[in-house]
Amino acid sequence: MSSDSQSSAVVDAAATAPPQEQGPLQVQVVHWPLRDQPKRSICLILVITLTVVLTGMVSNSFSMGLLICSMLLIASWRYWIPVHYEIGPYGIRQTVWKHVRRVSWQQIGRIEFRQHGIRFFPDRDPAQLANLRGLYVYHPEKEETLKKVVTFYLDATQSAGSASQPTMHQQAG
């Protein structure tokens, strides 16, 4: 049994069992578009390749093509590098290579349940640039499990005496 299927079985059991029987719930999600969305990834690779070739031909410069290639690869880094998320009793932990970003449940001001994941915002009020500060956990196969675990911990944070409950929004899908 692979580690993905083992963790999926544990997550499903944890999400359906009562909290008293299971203990703290925790979900681990890996988002890697190169693996998870092969059609979109192939299109991106083709667009980058076409852009690099056309830039090199139009400018008559191999180095200009390399410069454009490196800029496009850097700009699309989220496709090439897997992002790991752990959602548990202390909040959300996002790991990209060795860089770890932690967001506690108290730091979350607003949540939007979207079609393929959950968007967490630090501010309660929606602002035009709020998406730049938010954290999006994408995982279409486990969206119901994610929703249960997040709701469980937000309710636990509220009952533990947190000052305010984050606002929750359901996106029309």
pLDDT, one tens digit per residue, over 118-150 is 889 888 877 777 777 788 898 878 778 888 888
- pLDDT exceeds cutoff 80 at 69: yes
Question: Residue 163 has what DSSP assignment?
Answer: S
CATH number assigned to the domain with residue range 3-32+81-160, chosen from the 4 options 2.30.30, 1.10.3470, 2.20.230, 2.30.29:
2.30.29
- pLDDT exceeds cutoff 50 at 5: no
Under 8 Å between Cβ of 49 and 112: no
The whole-number pLDDT of residue 15 equals: 46
- pLDDT exceeds cutoff 90 at 7: no
Under 8 Å between Cβ of 103 and 47: no
Under 8 Å between Cβ of 143 and 116: yes
The whole-number pLDDT of residue 47 equals: 96
pLDDT, one tens digit per residue, over 79-130 is 999 999 999 999 999 999 999 999 999 888 888 888 888 889 888 877 777 7
Domain ranges of the chain: 3-32+81-160, 38-78
pTM of the prediction?
Answer: 0.73
Burial code of 16-26, b = ≥16 C-beta within 10 A, e = fewer?
A: eeeeeeeeebb
Q: H-helix or E-strand containing 110?
A: strand 110-114
As beta bridge partners, residue 168 has 111
pLDDT, one tens digit per residue, over 19-67 is 444 445 888 999 999 998 899 999 999 999 999 999 999 999 999 999 9
The whole-number pLDDT of residue 32 equals: 92
